[in-house]
Amino acid sequence: RKEVEQDPGPFNVPEGATVAFNCTYSNSASQSFFWYRQDCRKEPKLLMSVYSSGNEDGRFTAQLNRASQYISLLIRDSKLSDSATYLCVVNPSGSARQLTFGSGTQLTVLP
């Protein structure tokens, strides 16, 4: 079983749609959680951290369920510029930032 599992997609949605990505992780001792965005042939960039209380940044909402070891990302009112691969990322260790990435979910927002 992979340490971090994501639905690979692709997700093809029209502009303005709401889309949700899910992720599960296997290490129950994992300490911190993130969503990264990666554009084609570019480096990953931090989209947002994920907290147990849930957090929102504009059109993006992230949720963490530690009991189910489940992380989600919701994108509302999707834009063409949201087209990218979204990587679910877990830091298993409480100290050093040694990240475990999922394989990513590809999103294409269509005009």
Partner 1 sequence: ETGVTQSPTHLIKTRGQQVTLRCSSQSGHNTVSWYQQALGQGPQFIFQYYREEENGRGNFPPRFSGLQFPNYSSELNVNALELDDSALYLCASSLGDRGYGYTFGSGTRLTVV
Q: Which of 42, 59, 66, 79 binds partner 1 (CB under 8 A)?
A: 42
**19-25, strands of its sheet edge to edge:** 4-6, 19-25, 70-75, 60-65, 55-57
Positive or negative: CA dihedral 86, 92, 93, 94: positive
Q: How far apart are CA 34 and CA 25, in angstroms?
A: 12
Of the candidate spans 14-22, 36-44, 59-67, 68-76, the one that interacts with partner 1 by CB under 8 A turns out to be 36-44
Q: Is 87 in the site for partner 1 (CB under 8 A)?
A: yes
Q: Which of 29, 81, 96, 111 binds partner 1 (CB under 8 A)?
A: 96
Applying CB under 8 A, the residues found at the interface with partner 1 are 4, 41-46, 87, 89, 91, 93, 95-104
